[in-house]
């Protein structure tokens, strides 16, 4: 950027670009009006400087040289206007720098301009809609020249693709709410943080409104009624009602609808955050972005509400995010590295007290959409609801294994050799089962089948565009409460249950007394004690439960609990990152073992082995380890299903036993779908 005099106004330069008729001018004017609430704003229209109907290229050169260059230096811009009536240069105009300068028009974000700009906004719209809009606005004046001008745009875009460099992507002509959505999206861009501190402060001034209902409806019925048609939705489903640890008290149901709803998806170092027709493209590490949108307490819960979730982000963090926490991720996944929806409204069910809570985010002004949602949600909950009958025709997918038994046994032996060489103490080796249903498979019905056969305290169903996660996870990765308390509950050690009570009790006792399983569990406990200690108050890391046995519908599990307290002032997102991915899914030591796993597995894990749950606006988070989980992806008219499975390898591991453990862990999901392990 050009040198700025010491006394210059240093503007935030925003370009609003897009093809003719996309809606740039109206949106730029309305955005500038909103920004004037807290800032001085200058607005420049490129149509005032193009030298005639054949002047796109020359106009862009004039714009960069005489307008953008001085403004970027904090100096007034003196430029020659085009007199369209005389078809010649007109008088000299002056555009003053301001807190924010919005430049609007075709080519506002051309290649020569981008180094001088702070924010690029690209507006897109259907070709027919653009033409209709442009001709309706300018009538007979533009009609004879539409194709002539359009051809120039085509030629320019062949070599210059500003949409690929845009910070914000907007679908044009999408209603009156777009300018406000665009302003809110700007506040989320790192380069706007200091300029738009007033808007960010207003965003932090939101309050949580809670309505309590003395009713406990069927959770499945509520999800179907309120969220089956949502673009993205989450059901954190405490389906294990008899959980002795009290982890199944609350269920959370939410979507990305309403005024505050958003969808964030991170892949390969870029986070896309979509709110209605506005998508922000934010480059940088995922956990840095997460810290910016979640890392500070933004709301407080009212006294009537005992729930752990005060609205915020829900979704998953995929295993490949290990690239940000010491691992490498050279094999791209077919799914985003992370997908989170922001819920500005939600239903929370309290299974213990038999109550329901309706949560909405408020800014002190009337919100008709939120009020309408409350009316609808209240009616659904008070009606009680009944679960739908199980689907009659849920297909039984035929799975294939990524690794044959022989291949997996070879990987086990290779892992044992790495342990013998001192490169690891424990290697949590995995593989995957995949299937394809040509006629598609309803993700919700698949989840409900899993839920009926294998309830679990951290079960969850997540639905995103083209992707769903159906999980009966029994394992907590990490809980961080609003006051800074941290808890991890790793699982290591599994036995499949038997229908015979005597044999089942013997299997449970075998697990309880297994020296090998206790050794695996204790190694992961030590790893997690180290992970939590990085940001914990010294002396607060404790093991409150060691190698306890928990029993679920299909398995017995060995579980431990590690507690700690977050150091005051520490980053909450960094605390999550310090423990990610879960040590129970990597082994120890974590970083060197992840490198071993990359070589042995030869494929990305995707969502499996990551974490899923919520990041609440009061600073709390609760995340499950993504195991016992079916991932469903839209696949050219069909559905692709993936089930990750694996087990911990130690120096004492017997390869044949480890293969049987893989089969045991797959059993709960496969049996719920009416299918078997692919021998």
Measured between alpha carbons, how far is 223 from 221 in angstroms, rounded to an integer?
A: 5
First CA to last CA distance, the chain:
63
* Secondary structure in 3-state letters for 297-313: CCCCCCCCCCCCCCCEE
Six-digit token pair at 23? 């809606």
Helix (H) or strand (E) segment spanning residue 655: helix 655-672
R_g (Cα) of the chain, nearest Å:
28
Give the three-class secondary structure for 18: strand
Measured between alpha carbons, how far is 121 from 182 in angstroms, rounded to an integer?
A: 9
Six-digit token pair at 181? 């959505």
* Secondary structure in 3-state letters for 432-459: EEEEEECCCCCHHHHHHHHHHHCCCCEE
**Of residues 104, 199, 418, 475, which has the active-site annotation?**
475
Asked if residue 430 lies in contact with residue 659, where contact means CB atoms within 8 angstroms, the answer is: no
Measured between alpha carbons, how far is 79 from 61 in angstroms, rounded to an integer?
A: 12
- Helix, strand, coil % over all residues of the chain, rounded to 5: 35, 30, 35
* DSSP string of 247-301, one letter each residue: TTSEEEEEES-STT-EEEEEETTEEEEEETTEEEEEES-HHHHHHHHHSS-----
Six-digit token pair at 365? 């002004």
CB atoms within 10 A of CB 372: 11
Q: List Cβ neighbours of 378 (8 Å cut-off, separation of 6 or more).
A: 211, 213, 358
Measured between alpha carbons, how far is 415 from 409 in angstroms, rounded to an integer?
A: 10
Nearest partner of 271 among 253, 299, 294, judged by Cα: 294
Six-digit token pair at 387? 């679960």
The Cα diameter of the chain in Å comes to 98
Catalytic site residue 492? yes
Asked if residue 326 lies in contact with residue 594, where contact means CB atoms within 8 angstroms, the answer is: yes
Phi, psi angle pair for 442, to nearest 5°? -65, 115
Asked if residue 456 lies in contact with residue 598, where contact means CB atoms within 8 angstroms, the answer is: no
Give the three-class secondary structure for 416: helix
Asked if residue 108 lies in contact with residue 163, where contact means CB atoms within 8 angstroms, the answer is: no
599: exposed, middle or buried (C-beta count within 10 Å: 0-12, 13-18, 19+)? Answer: exposed
| Strand 100-104, strand 41-45: pairing | parallel
**Of residues 220, 322, 426, 492, which has the active-site annotation?**
492
Measured between alpha carbons, how far is 536 from 480 in angstroms, rounded to an integer?
A: 12
Nearest partner of 322 among 564, 527, 586, 678, judged by Cα: 586
Nearest partner of 160 among 66, 57, 64, judged by Cα: 57
Measured between alpha carbons, how far is 656 from 678 in angstroms, rounded to an integer?
A: 16
Phi, psi angle pair for 306, to nearest 5°? -95, 0
Residues carrying an active site annotation? 475, 492
């Amino acid at each position: 950027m050009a040198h700025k005099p010491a006394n210059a106004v240093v503007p935030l330069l925003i370009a609003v670009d897009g093809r003719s008729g996309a809606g740039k001018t109206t949106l730029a004017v309305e955005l500038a009006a909103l920004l004037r609430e807290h800032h001085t704003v200058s607005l420049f229209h490129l149509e005032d400087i193009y030298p005639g109907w054949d002047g796109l290229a020359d106009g862009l050169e004039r714009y960069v040289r005489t307008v953008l260059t001085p403004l970027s230096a904090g100096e007034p811009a003196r430029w020659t206007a085009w007199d369209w009536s005389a078809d010649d240069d007109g008088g000299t105009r002056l555009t003053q720098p301001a807190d924010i300068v919005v430049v609007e028009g075709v080519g506002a974000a051309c290649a020569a301009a981008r180094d001088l700009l702070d924010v690029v906004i690209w507006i897109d719209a259907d070709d027919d809609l653009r033409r209709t809009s442009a001709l309706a606005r300018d009538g007979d004046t533009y009609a004879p020249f539409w194709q002539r001008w359009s051809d120039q745009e085509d030629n320019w875009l062949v070599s210059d693709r500003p949409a690929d460099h845009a910070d914000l992507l907007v679908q044009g002509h999408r209603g009156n709410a777009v300018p406000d959505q665009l302003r809110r999206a700007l506040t989320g861009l790192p380069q706007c943080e200091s300029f738009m501190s007033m808007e960010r402060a207003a965003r932090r001034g939101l309050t949580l409104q809670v309505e309590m209902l003395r009713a406990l409806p069927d959770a499945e019925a509520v999800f179907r009624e309120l969220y089956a048609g949502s673009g993205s939705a989450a059901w954190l489903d405490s389906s294990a009602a008899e959980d002795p640890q009290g982890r199944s008290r609350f269920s959370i149901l939410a979507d990305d609808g309403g005024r505050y709803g958003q969808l964030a998806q991170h892949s390969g170092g870029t986070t896309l955050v979509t709110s209605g027709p506005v998508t922000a493209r934010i480059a940088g590490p995922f956990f840095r972005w997460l810290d910016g949108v979640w890392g500070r307490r933004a709301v407080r819960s009212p006294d009537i509400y005992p729930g752990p979730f005060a609205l915020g982000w829900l979704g998953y963090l995929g295993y490949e995010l290990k690239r940000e926490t010491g691992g490498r991720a050279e094999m791209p996944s077919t799914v985003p590295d992370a997908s989170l929806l922001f819920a500005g409204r939600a239903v929370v069910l309290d299974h213990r007290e038999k109550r329901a809570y309706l949560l909405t985010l408020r800014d002190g002004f009337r919100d008709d959409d939120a009020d309408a949602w409350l009316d609808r949600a209240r009616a659904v909950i008070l009606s009680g609801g009944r679960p739908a009958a199980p689907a009659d025709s849920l297909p039984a997918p035929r799975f294939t294994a990524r690794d044959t038994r022989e291949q997996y046994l070879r990987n086990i032996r290779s892992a044992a050799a790495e342990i013998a060489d001192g490169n690891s103490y424990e290697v949590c080796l995995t593989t995957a089962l995949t299937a394809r249903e040509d006629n598609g498979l309803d993700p919700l019905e698949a989840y409900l089948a899993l839920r009926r056969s294998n309830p679990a305290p951290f079960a969850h169903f997540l639905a995103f565009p083209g992707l769903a996660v159906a999980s009966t996870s029994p394992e907590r990765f990490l809980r961080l409460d609003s006051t800074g308390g941290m808890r991890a509950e790793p699982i290591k050690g599994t036995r499949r249950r038997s229908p015979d009570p005597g044999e089942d009790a013997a299997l449970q006792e075998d697990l309880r007394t297994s020296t090998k399983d206790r050794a695996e569990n204790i190694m992961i406990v030590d790893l997690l004690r180290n992970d939590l200690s990085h940001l914990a108050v010294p002396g607060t890391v404790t093991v409150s439960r060691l190698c306890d046995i928990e029993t679920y519908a299909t398995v017995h599990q060995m579980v431990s609990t590690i507690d700690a307290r977050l150091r005051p002032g520490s980053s909450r997102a960094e605390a999550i990152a310090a423990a990610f991915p879960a040590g129970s899914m990597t082994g120890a030591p974590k970083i060197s073992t992840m490198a071993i796993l990359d070589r042995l597995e030869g494929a990305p894990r995707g969502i499996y082995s990551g974490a899923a749950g919520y990041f609440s606006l009061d600073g709390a988070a609760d995340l499950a380890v993504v195991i016992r989980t079916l991932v469903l992806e839209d696949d050219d008219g069909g559905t692709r299903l993936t089930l990750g499975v694996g087990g911990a390898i130690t120096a004492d591991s017997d390869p044949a036993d480890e293969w049987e453990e893989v089969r045991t862990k797959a059993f709960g999901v496969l049996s719920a779908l009416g299918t078997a392990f692919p021998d």
